[in-house]
Structure 1
Amino acid sequence: MYSTYIARQAILDRNSRTIGYELLFRESPDNRFPEIDQDIASSKLIIQNHLQGDIKAISLGKLSFINFTEKCLINKYPLFFDRKSIVIELVGHTSPTERLLKIVKYYFEKGYRIALTEYDLDEKWDVLFPFISIIKVDIEKNNPKRLQSIVKRIKPFNIKLAAEKVETRFQLQSLAEVGFNFYQGYFYHEPEIIEGQTLAPIKAQMLHLISETFNTPLDFEVIAEIISRDVNLSVGLLKMVNNVATSTRVEITSLKQATAYLGEEKLKQFVTILALSKLTTDKTDEVSKQALITAKLMTSLATADAFEKAREYAFITGLLSAIEVVLSMPMSEIIETMPLAEPIEKALVHREGVLGELLSFVTDYIVGKGENMENVAEVYGLSSDYMHKEFVEACRWCQELGI
């Protein structure tokens, strides 16, 4: 049985809402893929490891964009998946051969959505237009301005354009003007910083709430007072108590009692998760989900001996890792408003210390950044099976939160 790493990258629409994820399958540490093409090996691993059941969790119920070579398509690997849950990405093609056209038509008639990748703007690909749903364009290799004529040619077929390697909001806006519908890459590069922006009262209140979780011991009365100012937080707290009290019925008479019932550890997680949800907008929803998965995965991996010194702060560090994107403020300015422990500050601002190493490792793993992730994992004493299992569990946990 072979092991894989799985990374993912969000694909968003013009309103920055996630429509799906491209799933990136990595080699196992021992590279046991004899005499087989990389993409074919990846596709076989999807099936061998029964990832059909995991894909829904990894993609948080959204579409899964999966790369398939021509040979994968001939072997009918996509048929192992629900046609409503995946998008077939065509890879490894330099020209639209008659055989490729026949294959694409076959899956189109089966009801699968198909994306043409590695598109070089040549008219030779027009023959595939009646059967594809999305064209993905690498904007580093192709000047978007050249797509004006192509937009007209694809219009009769209702094909959507997706831009890959989008790094800035300026690009996002200009690409929308050209005619692009979807974007990939923006949330996984340097966050856009808006200098001098002040926090709205509700955001300041949520940061205050998060800050209170760092006090030892926790002041349940203060936390209950802050929560009481927001109906949604209050309802969420009571639901959390109900979920925890699975075996006995608990009669809660006050929010302070509810906070005390949860106990410090569960209350800390509850408060930070709900506070983050209140800070989130439609444009930062994907970032917040990524932060939740990062927090959960960091907590799981912190059980490894290599990250022993990071265990205490793993969850909150992961959760706050994307806070500058959520608030559109520099991390250094946000840190000043929160009484964070020094290891957390160093990890968030400079990626320093064991905690910073763990944060960098987890964020790189999730988005498939870096060519030597397998070797790095081995250095930390982590197996690919364990990494994959914990990543899937983190995704499933995030989906079940429903926020």
Structure 2
Amino acid sequence: MYNTYIARQAILDRNSNTIGYELLFRDSPKNQFPEIDPDVASSKLIIQNHLQGDIQSVCLGKLAFINFTEKCLVNKYPLMFDKKSIVIELVGHSKPTDKLIKIISFYYEQGYKIALSEYNLDPVWDVLFPYLSIIKVNIEEINPKRVLSVVSRIKPFNIKLAAEKVETNFQLQALAEVGFNYYQGYFYHEPEMVEGQTLAPMKTQMLNLISETFNVPLNYTAIADIVSHDVNLTVGLLKMVNNVATSTRVEITSLKQAAAYLGEEKLKQFVTILALSKLTSEKTDELSKQALITARLMSMIAKQGAFSDVSDYAFITGLLSAIEVILCMPIADIVKTMPLADPIVKALVSHEGLLGELLVLTSNYIVGEGDSLTKLTEIYGIDANFIHSEFVAASRWCQDLGIF
């Protein structure tokens, strides 16, 4: 019996809207795609148990880009998935054999979207163009300017170009000029520092709202006052009260009463999440979702053993892990405006301490980077199945919030 674990990486369009996620399969402790066993039943079980029921949650309702080797295609594993929910991503092919062409044409006729990965610009691949929806180019290995020669060849087939390994927004703009439609990489993790920038009043208000949650005891009047200046926050607060009061009818007469009804723990999570959503833009929505999932997963991992000492700080640290990019300001300047505990400041600014280690490991695990799963399981003694199930649960929780 195999255990599989899923990381993911967003694929965005030119307007920074997420069109889907490439799912990165990992096994413990090697952090790589698990070997496909000749036993077809066991191989099917991998997909059925760990993907079929959870794919919509993990991908937040977007397309799932799934890597399939020729053997997986021959065994018809893609047919286990709804053709509207996945993109078949071809990997591990050195050239388009007659067998591969026949297989691809079969899935094309079934209505599946197909993406060619590891594309090297060789004209030998042109034979697959009639069946492809997307071609992915690794711009670390291939100069994007060389792709210009391909643009005219793929145009009759309405194939979209996707750039992999995009690191900065500067690259993104240049790639759009070449003809790329989609982008995958860490460009939305790259802070764009704007020298001398000041925060707009609305953003300052949202940071004040987050800051209010750190006061002991909570000042419900101050929180209610800030919420009252924003219709969406007001509606959100009342919806939260309604969700909590599922078994009893609660008559709310003021925002202060609504805030107090939730209690400190739920109110803290509510205001930080809603405030974060108000700080986002089209370019930072994806990163905000990632921060929410990071926050939730960090808080759950912190309940286990070695990280229990920082469990009180885990959620807010994960939630603020994206704030530097969202606000386009150095994190060191942002934390000066907020009454954060010292461990949170050190974790956010320099990834110091146990909390910083938890932040790095959790963030890297989510995007499939490095040996985070190995460290979490072997060094900190956290069960890998627990991490995987909580990641799926965190993704589902983020989707259910419905705030983006």
Cross-structure match for 2:25: 25
Cross-structure match for 1:12: 12
Q: Within 5 A, what are the aligned runs for 1:39-58? A: 44=44, 46-58=46-58
CA positional deviation for 1:143: 0.5
Change (3 A) 1:216 1:35: closer
Question: Which residue identity does 1:298 align to in structure 2?
Answer: M
Contact 1:2 1:32 in 2 (8 A): no
5+ residue gaps, structure 1, are: none
SS in 2 for 1:164: strand
Cross-structure match for 1:339: 339
Change (3 A) 1:17 1:92: same
Q: Within 5 A, what are the aligned runs for 1:257-268? A: 257-268=257-268
SS in 2 for 1:49: helix
Partners of 1:166 and 1:180 in 2: CA distance: 11
Partners of 2:241 and 2:30 in 1: CA distance: 45
Q: Residue deviations 1:349-400, cap 9 Å, x none?
A: 0111111111011001000000463244221111121111000000000000
Change (3 A) 1:8 1:193: same
SS in 2 for 1:83: coil
RMSD over aligned Cα atoms: 2.0
Contact 1:234 1:255 in 2 (8 A): yes
Cross-structure match for 1:279: 279
Is 2:103 the counterpart of 1:86?
Answer: no
Contact 2:190 2:325 in 1 (8 A): no
Cross-structure match for 1:181: 181
Change (3 A) 1:382 1:34: closer
Contact 1:33 1:41 in 2 (8 A): no
CA positional deviation for 1:41: 11
Change (3 A) 1:31 1:165: closer
Change (3 A) 1:284 1:43: farther
Contact 1:46 1:52 in 2 (8 A): no
Change (3 A) 1:279 1:33: closer
CA positional deviation for 1:54: 0.3
Cross-structure match for 2:384: 384
Cross-structure match for 1:314: 314
Partners of 1:132 and 1:34 in 2: CA distance: 26
Cross-structure match for 1:352: 352
Cross-structure match for 2:229: 229
Cross-structure match for 2:127: 127
SS in 1 for 2:88: strand
Partners of 1:232 and 1:134 in 2: CA distance: 38
Cross-structure match for 2:197: 197
Q: Which 10-residue stretch deviates more, 78-87 or 371-380?
A: 371-380
Identity %: 73
Partners of 1:35 and 1:46 in 2: CA distance: 11
Contact 1:188 1:367 in 2 (8 A): no
CA positional deviation for 1:188: 5.9
Cross-structure match for 1:110: 110
Partners of 1:193 and 1:289 in 2: CA distance: 21
Change (3 A) 1:34 1:387: closer
Partners of 1:130 and 1:104 in 2: CA distance: 10
Cross-structure match for 1:245: 245
Cross-structure match for 2:398: 398
Aligned length: 402
Partners of 1:110 and 1:57 in 2: CA distance: 24
TM-score (norm 1): 0.96
SS in 2 for 1:321: helix
Q: Residue deviations 1:66-119, cap 9 Å, x none?
A: 000001000000000000000000000010111110011000000000000010
CA positional deviation for 1:28: 2.6
CA positional deviation for 1:44: 4.3
Q: Residue deviations 1:119-163, cap 9 Å, x none?
A: 000000000000000000000000000111100000000000000
SS in 2 for 1:10: strand
Partners of 1:341 and 1:372 in 2: CA distance: 25
Contact 1:74 1:103 in 2 (8 A): yes
